[in-house]
Amino acid sequence: MGAPLSIAFFASSLVSAYWNGAATYYRGMVRALAGLGHRIVFYEPDAYERQSHRDMDDPEWAKVVVYPATESGVMRSLEAAKGSDLVIKASGVGVFDELLEREVLRLKNEGTQVIFWDVDAPATLERIAANTDDPFRALIPQYDLVLTYGGGDPIVRRYTSFGARTCIPIYNALDPETHYPVHSEPRLEADLSFLGNRLPDRERRVEEFFLAVASSLPERRFLLAGSGWDEKERSGNVKYLGHLGTCDHNAFNCSPMAVLNVSRDGMARNGFSPATRVFEAAGAGACMITDQWEGVEQFFEPEREIFVAASGEEVAEILDRLTPSLAAAVGSRALTRVRAQHTYAHRARQFQEIFSAGIKAKPSTGGMP
């Protein structure tokens, strides 16, 4: 290992998962990087009521700086980050993203490299492709490196076409210290459960792969969790929990016979984009059913470690043949696979190898590193 790095990380939030699906990704990566000796300061804005919905205290493994969601708050934080070995601007901070994307590049010098880390690359690329005046387009070549948390070759090629020097996916993973098997809870038992916030680019797929399936199988029990679904029409056999805190995620994954993953539209189109919850569910030993996307077999073996459905009808067919014993066996194999190959310790070592070799490294292929 090379010398430990001082890393300034500008992103949405480390301490709150409230309307912040990337929280577990940040937590897993930052904790694992700290475990390798790197020193991280995580800068997050006081926005979207996240500080009043914290689900963790400031961790020992990173310094958290919560700055006012104002232009002056941003500029003071950037000033404080000067002199770091690496400065990372993540996508989707949520406030003053354009300002951060521009001003963070002013911190570049002989001793400081600046990285853009895209946690929603399909959405970013679709946005800048649709708007030639998007200010981020001209900034991409100025970053020393672009990292993404999914996308494989399609995302790498698209970022390269916009002038990225190097683009490398670092995929989601499991943090075994936070996601693991627990006893089931009666209130969370179901035949099929889905956890996810209501988002425009996923809603149609949730309708097809979950809500329509529930309507077609009135004798089965379904459980829905996540923010925004209150007014959504659903059949009587769908129990809705609302926002589910991270402290309940393990029980949510361990209690039903199967857990459903539904990709957002862009991630499904690009493939090689497993959601964080796929690894969290596997880490709890859950039997997973996922909608179909290219590259799933790079992470889990279909039919042995995960079930893959190309339609809502196929979800229903899988449920029809699924038994508790088969579900337990599939979940057990997924747990073994994720712990052996897909933890944040694996991803942190990949991150470290990039910088040990120098960030002129060749772009990753669509498969696993």
Nearest to 351 by CA among 115, 109, 140: 115
Total-model pTM: 0.86
Residue 10 has pLDDT above 80, yes or no: yes
Give me the pLDDT at residue 366, please.
40
List of residues 6+ apart from 169 with CB closer than 8 A: 147, 148, 149, 150, 151, 152, 155, 156, 272, 364
Give me the pLDDT at residue 201, please.
87
pLDDT, tens digit (0-9, with 9 covering 90-100), for 25-48: 999 999 999 999 999 999 999 999
Average pLDDT over residues 280-298: 96
H/E stretch holding 74: helix 71-81
List of residues 6+ apart from 337 with CB closer than 8 A: 282, 300, 301, 305
Give me the pLDDT at residue 358, please.
62
With beta carbons less than 8 A apart as the criterion, state whether 347 and 32 touch: yes
pLDDT, tens digit (0-9, with 9 covering 90-100), for 133-144: 999 999 999 999
From CA 333, how far away is CA 346, in angstroms rounded? 19
From CA 30, how far away is CA 26, in angstroms rounded? 6
From CA 96, how far away is CA 76, in angstroms rounded? 13
Cα separation values, 31 from 11, 34, 120, 348, Å: 15, 5, 21, 9
Cα separation values, 366 from 154, 169, 305, Å: 8, 8, 20
pLDDT, tens digit (0-9, with 9 covering 90-100), for 189-247: 999 999 999 999 899 999 999 999 999 999 999 999 999 999 999 999 999 999 998 89
Confidence of residue 2 (pLDDT cuts 50, 70, 90): low
From CA 81, how far away is CA 11, in angstroms rounded? 13
Q: Which residue has the higher pLDDT, 9 or 364?
A: 9
Residue 365 has pLDDT above 50, yes or no: no
Give me the pLDDT at residue 332, please.
98
From CA 15, how far away is CA 42, in angstroms rounded? 10
Q: What does the chain come to in residues?
A: 369
User: Which letter does DSSP use for residue 57 in this model?
Assistant: P
Q: Hey, what's the torsion of the CAs at 37, 24, 158, 116, to 10 degrees?
A: -50
Confidence of residue 359 (pLDDT cuts 50, 70, 90): low
With beta carbons less than 8 A apart as the criterion, state whether 209 and 260 touch: yes
Nearest to 224 by CA among 213, 212, 211, 215: 211
What mean pLDDT value characterizes the chain? Answer: 93
Give me the pLDDT at residue 152, please.
85
From CA 261, how far away is CA 309, in angstroms rounded? 10
